[in-house]
Amino acid sequence: MTALPASTLKDRVQKDKSPVFPKLSKYWSARYWHAFAWYNILFKNARLIENRWAEAEMERAVRGAVEELKREGAPYQGNWFEVPRYKVDSVDTPFVRELVKQAKPFVLEGAAKQWGAVKKWNLDYFAENFGHQTVTAKDDLMDSGVFEPRKVADVVANLKAGKPVYTGFSEEILLNNPELFDDINRSEVIAMTGASKERKRGLVGFFRKGTVISVQLFIQGAQSHTTYHMTKFHNFFVEIAGRKEWVLVDPKYGMGIDQKPSAAYYFISPKPVDAPDSPDDLYSYLPKMHTIVEPGDILFVPSYWWHDVQTYASDHVIGMATRASGWTLENPLLDFLLLFDFKTFGFFYKAFIKGMPLTDAENAVLHIDADLKRLGVAESPAKAAG
């Protein structure tokens, strides 16, 4: 297996400068979010593909915000900085819980290195012990294929052959094999989330702050890349094997990231993470947080934060996401849109709360594929393979 060349995103990080947080115009922001709310409601609940008024209004608002930033002389170049990293003896500490309350990304460096999962979970382990079981997978999330059930043994064989494979959101393999939880320090994870109870598969827990909603396995190849997306729930992501590169953006800057509604991801974006700096592009003004997680690292991704994720100089990666409910008053519009989004909420309930495979969650994966293609995010098989 051969890893792809490492990306150069880390070279854009300004280590000797503080991040710049642009003050977006309240007037243009209000116009943007008003139009976006209508765009989202119509797209999700009525499946209306074209909503020209809302799209045009959002574009006008973004242009207006950019013009104001230009007049103010706001800096737009090199607004990249590293996610804060901490070394802790245990994740079950008041210090870590206080970090979680702040709802900003951070990395606990090597905090899971002694977990059984980090020590023994590898491709051979899954092939030998669970090879006959299936997980939901496709060749690559951004290609034009579809999700389908695949045997773990076949997934491992393809990864070892250097073929692109994207296996994600795989909670069913954990629920069907509870012995896997013995390799995870569950009590520490639960304490870190601020939850008082273990995973509860019920609708009430979905609304109870701190409830562990879902624990999901990710196994992907060297070519794996997930474009900007965001979703509900706090995500405590443990890197088990390989390395992943993350770029995160605060949801309050959503108008600068070309956010689009999707059926399974709450929102996705076709915005290239490495878009060149330009005074005419609102994305250039936004502060972008960057990090590379190694085996044993735990990355905290707060609820609704945008994140672009790709394999970093590794032939494959294995990771685990523990998602916890984090209802707050910080993003009331996004919460409102989720609660009144009958298609996405149904998917969340089945795929996240009930732990069903994606292929059984009301065919939501078909909507993912259709949305990716419609929004210009999905690539052709030839382009993805190159």
The domains of the chain are located at 9-385
Predicted local distance difference test score (pLDDT) of residue 10: 87
pLDDT for the residue 358: 53
Position 355 scores a pLDDT of 59
Contacts 24+ apart (CB under 8 A), 26-32: 27/64, 28/61, 28/62, 28/64, 28/65, 28/68, 29/61, 29/65, 29/255, 31/57, 31/60, 31/61, 31/64, 32/57, 32/58, 32/61, 32/62, 32/65, 32/255
Per-residue pLDDT at 167: 87
Neighbour order of strands in the sheet with 267-268: 80-82, 288-293, 244-249, 306-311, 225-230, 267-268, 260-261
Q: How far apart are CA 59 and CA 44, in angstroms?
A: 20
pLDDT on residue 65: 98
What are the per-10-residue average pLDDT scores of the chain (386 residues)?
Answer: 62 86 96 92 62 90 98 95 91 86 94 94 96 87 71 95 85 85 80 62 57 80 87 89 96 93 74 95 97 96 94 91 72 80 65 58 46 48 31
Fold of 9-385: Jelly Rolls (2.60.120)
- By three-state DSSP, how is residue 142 classified? coil
Q: Residue 232: what pLDDT?
A: 80
Q: Give me the pLDDT at residue 47, please.
A: 54
What is the pLDDT, as a whole number, of residue 2?
44
What's the pLDDT score for residue 39?
Answer: 86
Predicted pLDDT at 1: 43
pLDDT of residue 101: 86
Note the pTM of the prediction, 2 decimals: 0.86
Q: How high is the pLDDT of residue 345?
A: 65
